[in-house]
Structure 1
Amino acid sequence: MINRSIVAFVFVIVMMLALVVRAWYLQVVKHQDFQTRSNDNRISVQPIAPKRGLIFDRNGVLLAENRSIYSLEIIPEKAGDIDQVLERLLGAGFIEEKHQEKFLKDLRGQRRFKSITVKNRLTEKEVARFSVVRYQYPGVSVEARLVRYYPFGEVLVHALGYVGRINDRELARIDQANYKATRHIGKVGLEKHYEDLLHGTIGFRRVETDVQGRVIGEPLFEKPPIPGKNIRLSLDIRLQQIAAKAMGEERGSVIAIDPRNGEVLALVSNPGYDPNEFVTGISSASFRALMESKDRPMFNRALRGLYSPGSTIKPHMGWIGLEQKLVTTKTTVPDPGYWVIPNEEKRVYRDWKRGGHGEKVALLTAIVKSCDPYFYDLAYKMGIDTLSANMKKFGFGDYTGIDMGEEVPGIMPSREWKRSARKIPWFPGETVITGIGQGYWVATPLQLANAIGQLGMGSLRYQLHLVTATQSNGDWLRVPAKVASTQADFSNKDNLKAVQKAMHKVTQWGGTAFEAFREAPFTSGGKTGTVQLRAMGEEKYDESKIEKRFRDNAVYVGYAPFDSPEIAIAVVVENAGHGGSEAAPIARAVFDEYFKNQVADINLERKVAEGRN
């Protein structure tokens, strides 16, 4: 009996020692490990989204901002019977059936103590109406969130682009750690190209939570996010609006640049669409309507539209002819209304004017009156190799370098290009029609503006760009202009002046753009173009008998002031008819606004200076 008691006593002592040793091991040896595990269960790290950088125009006008929107949200745990709450909200007119269906779909897989959006973009009236009866809906509240907003809507959409919800494809390529608290990303345009600058760097806070994940008390630690950088553009919103207004309901594009540095002053692609619909999610019906529209509002014509330049390249052709000593300013070509390749009388290349421009047409008249046979003859003498190589010096067939990432290079045809692209040889007749800017030759409005700006300046051509400065910590850092990789040599000033003189006369009495520039308070140079889209053969062109979408494109390129260009422009109006009557007036409206603004800015600076004195 005594032995059993001793054994039991020893067993109890051993077990107690084991418990003490185990407690010591857990509380002393493994203290740090279990404390870390406890903190992991108790402390949660919550990401904080950075504010997206703002976008300003050249005068400081806000073009893309972050605006608070109100949304109706429900915390299921606090709301009780969800179906009943939704029915009450529906019956009271706070939500619609589509909101109810989407909420129930979003509810699946979500924690019941997390807030879930039931309706976005509440109006102030809706917010006020719900606030009055909020006490009747436990767990339902109105929350404010920052979302991207574009105050100028479709006027700027093809320049700025827009942001939208991050999709799976984008999620796979971005830094997911930096986007943990971000729902949106740049989809197209500047918003996409400068995403890394505009997004910013994520922040975080450490908070204490209970066993179910609810936040308890104030944050234990917080590292604020770093906002995205603000960017300033070369765009002038006043010019942009005037250009868009002048385009009206027509399809096409307007590009205005500063040829002295490559800054883009206006970039219009018409029609456009409202980018704000994409920020919080466009409806399927609205998106389908945009995609199926024959007018292609989502297509960026400024960057991706490929148009035959037509007669707008005749000044460039004239300059190349002078430089290559193929013609002089006194060389004349007969224009009876047509031209034929020597010894090949079967194929006739007609002038736009029946009856022609006379027996002796020189370079100045050929440009001012847009005489086709003169340039048929010049192109034939020049040959496609010389023509193509020299036109590439003006940027045709290449990227302008604009900082948007969606540009196409167009086509500057050559013998090598056709052999590679079409697998067939080049024919002389193709050189002839290339001489008047048609055939395989297609260019973007950006290229047309840059090329005329270079010829008007008679100096360096720059890469086109929109962003001129970025802002961080209050300081603006200037983005330098870049010279284009290919340049024309304007060392022979006589040849340059001969062509520029002709472009000036295009806007004067007898020129094809005279009516558009009648009594203009500034001097300018330019060239009209009317690009035929459907071959007519011997039949006379009758606009009234041709479907609208097959009528001629109207094109105009120009610059001002004539002696010292500050602005160059390209206007393409699809299926509008004549460049002089349809495209040139749009250019005139933009020039008028530019010089009006310039005078207003000078007067403002003068008043400010007088006030200081």
Structure 2
Amino acid sequence: MKKLIGVLLIVFVTMLTGCNKEPAPQDRFAAYIKLWNEQKFDQMYDYLSSSAKKSISKKEFTSRYEKIYQDLQITGLKVNFKKPKKDKKADGGKTSYSFNAKMNSVAGPISFSYKANLKEEEKDNKKNWYIDWNTGFIFPKMEKGDKIGLSTISPERGEIVDRNGNGLAVNGDVLEVGVVPGKMGDKKAQVVGQLAKLLDIPTKQIEQELGASWVKPGLFVPLRKIPLDDRKLVNQLMSIQSVTTKDVPARIYPYKEAAAQLVGYVGSITADDLKKLESKGYTAQDLVGKRGLEQVFDEQLKGQTGVKITIKKKDGSEDVLAEKPVENGKTVKLTIDAELQASLYDEMKGDAGSSAAMNPMTGETLALVSSPSFDPNQASLGFSASEWKALQDNKKMPLTTRFKQTYAPGSVMKPITASIALENKAITPGQSIAINGLKWQKSKSWGGYYVTRVHEASPVNLEKAFIYSDNIYFAQAALKIGRTTFIDGLKKFGFEKEWDYAFPLEKPTIGSLGSEISLADSGYGQGQIQMNIVNLMAAYTPLVNSGNMIKPILLASDKKSQVLQEKVMTPDAAATIGPMLRKVVTDPGGTARAANIPGYPLAGKTGTAEIKQKQGELGTQNGWFIAYNPQKPNLMIAMMVENVEKSGGSKVPVEKVTKVFKMWK
């Protein structure tokens, strides 16, 4: 029994001794490091020595770390302390340990080594080890009274240029218009009224700007930015007492409305933009692409902001902590010919529609036009409320990018149908079929629905069907092909696929083709068939490339003459259809006879797509025309003009496209 009691006593004393064992300094410092890595700054403060706490309060300690880490965008913090295997407590209750810190910042990586001094102190009748903290723990060269400096250098935005180096989006200057309040004298109301009218700004807004807390009589108060070339407005403004202007940097769009939908414009970053882009280095001061290629290639054009983090010393000197050099944005060079782009836009004369040009041998997009349009210079500087309302209320929808949208192609679809039919032997070129009258239906099961045509002819072969654009012939061809084979053939042309193209396009679609009527209508480009103008041009490239469809490209750096789909037409089909499209232009009865240019042989196809809810009612019509020179196939032009039902149908785009060919042949 005595022996058992002795053993228990030894165990109890051992446990008591263990409970009273003083904390090891290395364990205390390791715990502090752990909290630091977790950025639990308020808990870190509890580890500070009494003398350290006298130099900084808990609130100041916590907020200082939090602000510095937030402002410098500190991530990936990793503080390392290698604990010694044995405690080597220094005499006099003092010891020290070295540690390493690494982190990423907005200006790049920061790393340092530092020595921490610990001292043993008694608090609440208990001894423990505490860190003798100082500002060197934040950054070693930082001393009491020093401040952290964060400076940025904005990159120069990359320009967007055409194939010849002509600027489509460039860096330049605009005029910032404002007033010096002290120079208005007793004519303030008169000046404000004149400025409100000329700058299209509400009077109340100008008064608010003039009433801002920072405004002083001799200071320039900016009101609006205007283009340098608006000389009439500049002269009117400069005649007003107290008005002054100054040149400020801005994005300039030399081709204005002609390329607005393609190039887009830049504007101030919004709070929503910043949420999405902050992780990519964007700041509240940045401009961002708002639409078009300015938006698509924004990160490439923007470049990288230069950032420098410094410790600002009390004597005015600086120590650099981290620095990321500025990287200017990269130039984006397009395959576009800006002058051809302008010619096509001008020829559309404000009609609603789209136009495009391509080199069908290389796939280079030479023009992408949407009409009507808007001035991207004014968009970038900021539309006034009345200017924005006028754009929104315009029935022709100038803010719509039509060349990216899909539409029913009408009869420009017929060469696609013909190639599928020829490949699957649903038709033969020389075979004539009897078609009587201007309307036709397969059977009485179609009820009151008929396929109609404009020109009466019988019998009709493939060549005549192209010349007269015979809907009935191609409707019958689609039915002979059959739904499944027709869909498979269309998919070879890129239908129902997302296209790898620098400007995001709506994909061409087929629709359900759930009935004989929808299949027949799709054969001549109605039904639910939808294409955009880039798809259409690509679909015609096999005619000059032995049946291979060439990939359309927009960037000058893209490889030229890429085959998007081999033998999308058989070589025989391409060789058959091409000369027939030439006849569409040369034959006296051809629907594109107005495009016959002496000495410059064009081949092409017209189309009129009807937009209506049901047969028998009057709807709107979109007129199409696509043409190229088969002897020198380096330029293909396509155009779609909306609402041509009262102005000549497809004759409208035929005449416009022909004028452009005459200028560029």
Shorter chain as normaliser: what TM range? Answer: 0.7 to 0.9
For residue 222 of structure 1, report the CA deviation from its aligned partner: 8.8
Separation of aligned partners in 1, 2:239 and 2:421: 78
Of 494-503 and 194-203, deviating more is: 494-503
Q: Displacement of 1:73 after TM fit?
A: 7.3
The 2-side partners of 1:69 and 1:387 are apart by 55
User: How far did residue 153 of structure 1 move?
Assistant: 1.0
Displacement after TM superposition at 1:197 (Å): 0.8
Spell out the pairing of 1:74-89 with structure 2 (5 A cutoff): none
| Alignment partner of 1:308 is 2:408 | yes
Q: Which amino acid aligns with 1:463?
A: K
Match of 2:507 among 388, 391, 409: 409
Contact 2:449/2:615, CA 8 A, preserved across alignment: no
Q: What's the counterpart of residue 610 of structure 1?
A: none
Distance across 2 between alignment mates of 1:89 and 1:198: 45
TM-fit CA distance, 1:142: 5.9
Secondary structure in 1 matching 2:510: coil
Asked whether the 8 Å contact 1:453–1:559 carries over to 2, the reply is no
Normalised by the length of structure 2, the TM-score is 0.69
Q: Secondary structure at the match of 2:225?
A: strand
Among 348, 355, 363, the residue aligned to 1:262: 363
Residue 36 of structure 1: SS of its match in structure 2?
A: coil
TM superposition shift of 1:351 = 3.2
Q: Which has the larger radius of gyration?
A: 2
Offset at residue 519 of structure 1 (A): 3.0
CA distance in 2, matches of 1:538, 1:187: 43
Counterparts of 1:528 and 1:484 in 2: how far apart (Å)?
26
Change (3 A) 1:432 1:141: closer
Q: How does 1:203-214 map to 2 (within 5 A)?
A: 203-204=306-307
- Alignment correspondent of 2:454: 353
Aligned mate of 1:554, from 613, 623, 638: 623
Do structure 1's residue 290 and structure 2's residue 391 form an aligned pair?
yes
Alpha-carbon distance in structure 2 between the residues aligned to 1:523 and 1:349: 36
The correspondence for 2:472, drawn from 369, 373, 386, is 373
In structure 1, what residue type is equivalent to 2:153?
Answer: I
CA separation of 1:44 and 1:93: change in aligned 2, threshold 3 A: farther
Q: CA 1:38–1:570 in 2, change beyond 3 Å: closer, same or farther?
A: farther
Q: 1:451 aligns with which of 539, 545, 556?
A: 539
SS in 1 for 2:327: coil
- Contact 1:258 / 1:265 at 8 angstroms: preserved in 2? yes
Q: What is the aligned partner in structure 1 of residue 87 from structure 2? A: none
Deviation at 1:262, TM superposition (A): 2.1
2: CA distance, partners of 1:345 / 1:31: 88
The equivalent residue for 1:253 is: 354
CA-CA distance at 1:588 after TM superposition: 1.6
User: What displacement does 1:348 show?
Assistant: 5.2
Structure 1: where are the runs of 5+ without partners? Answer: 1-17, 416-425, 469-477, 540-545, 596-613
Equivalent position of 1:421 in the other structure: none
For the 8 Å contact 1:393–1:487, the answer to whether it is kept is no
Quote the residue 1:7 is aligned against.
none
- AA partner of residue 47 (structure 1): T
| CA displacement 1:61-110 (0-9 Å, x = unmatched) | 11111112343679xxxx9xxx87887794684855455345268x57x8
SS for the counterpart of 2:434 is strand
Q: SS of the counterpart of 1:507?
A: helix
1:321 — aligned with what? Answer: 421
Amino acid at match of 1:322: L
Q: CA deviation at 1:143?
A: 5.3
User: Aligned equivalents of 2:559 and 2:585: distance in 1?
Assistant: 34
User: CA 1:316/1:192 → structure 2, altered by over 3 Å: closer, same or farther?
Assistant: same
1:471 equivalent in structure 2: none
Structure 2 gap ranges (5+): 1-50, 56-116, 118-131, 197-202
- 2:116 corresponds to 1:46: no
Shift of 1:311: 1.0
Does the alignment pair 1:509 with 2:587?
yes
Cα pair distance change 1:282/1:218, threshold 3 Å: farther
More helix by share: 1
For 2:548 and 2:249, the matched residues in 1 are separated by 44
Match among 155, 159, 166 for residue 61 of structure 1: 166
CA distance in 1, matches of 2:240, 2:154: 32
Alignment partner, residue 148 of structure 1? 251
Q: Aligned residue for 1:602? A: none
Q: Does residue 235 in structure 1 map to residue 336 in structure 2?
A: yes
Equivalent of residue 652 in structure 2, options 582, 585, 592: 582
Structure 2: distance between partners of 1:253 and 1:588: 15
The one-letter amino acid of 1:238's match is E
- Cα RMSD between the aligned structures? 4.0
- TM-aligned CA deviation for residue 537 of structure 1: 5.2
The residue correspondences of 1:152-551 to structure 2 (distance < 5 A) are 152-175=255-278, 178-180=281-283, 182-204=285-307, 225-304=326-405, 306-337=406-437, 338-342=439-443, 344=445, 346-347=447-448, 349-353=450-454, 356-358=456-458, 360-405=459-504, 407-415=505-513, 426-468=514-556, 478-481=557-560, 483=562, 486-490=565-569, 492-534=570-612, 550-551=619-620
- 1:551 deviates by 3.2
TM-score scaled by length of structure 1: 0.74
**What residue identity is the alignment partner of 1:461?**
M
Which residue type is aligned with residue 384 of structure 2?
S
Partner residue, 1:103: 209
- The 1-side partners of 2:286 and 2:215 are apart by 19
Q: State the Cα deviation string for residues 130-153 of structure 1 (Å, max 9, x = none).
A: 99999xx9xx99654311111111
Cα 1:533–1:331 change in 2 (3 A) is: same
Whether contact under 8 Å (1:316, 1:455) holds in the other structure is no
Percent identity of the aligned residues? 26
How far, CA to CA, are the matches of 2:631 and 2:373 in structure 1? 35
Is 1:592 matched with 2:662? yes
Cross-structure match for 2:128: none
Tell me how far apart the structure 1 counterparts of residues 462 and 240 of structure 2 sit (CA, whole Å). Answer: 80
Structure 1 residues 343-352 or 234-243, which shifts more? 343-352
Deviation at 1:198, TM superposition (A): 0.4
Instruction: State the one-letter code of the partner of 1:303.
Output: K
Counterpart residue identity of residue 378, structure 2: E
Instruction: Give the Cα separation in 2 of the matches to 1:237 and 1:446.
Output: 17
Q: Tell me if the contact between 1:512 and 1:528 (Cα under 8 Å) persists in the aligned partners.
A: no
- Partners of 1:556 and 1:363 lie apart in 2 by 19
Q: Distance in 2 between matches of 1:276 and 1:524?
A: 37
Q: Secondary structure at the match of 1:552?
A: strand
Distance 1:532 1:133, change over 3 A: closer
Q: Deviations over 1:316-339 (max 9, x none)?
A: 212211110112112221121232
CA distance in 1, matches of 2:307, 2:446: 79
Deviation at 1:242, TM superposition (A): 1.2
CA distance in 2, matches of 1:30, 1:537: 85
Structure 1 residue 346: Cα displacement:
4.3
Q: In structure 2, give the amino acid aligned to 1:554.
A: G
- 1: distance between equivalents of 2:526 and 2:343? 30
Distance 2:236 2:444 in 1: 85
Structure 1 pair 150/381, CA: closer, same or farther in 2 (3 Å)? same
Separation in 1 of the partners of 2:284 and 2:326? 11
Q: Note closer, same or farther for the CA distance 1:208–1:59 as it changes in structure 2 (3 Å cut).
A: same
For residues 206 and 117 of structure 1, the distance between their equivalents in structure 2, rounded to whole angstroms, comes to: 32
Partner Cα distance (1:394, 1:332) in 2? 27
Deviation string, structure 1 residues 229-278 (Cα, Å, up to 9, x no partner): 11111111111111112111311110111222322111111110111122
CA deviations over 1:154-184 (Å, ceiling 9, x no partner): 1100110111111111100113673337431
Contact 2:175/2:247 (<8 A) preserved: yes
Matched residue type, 2:559: P
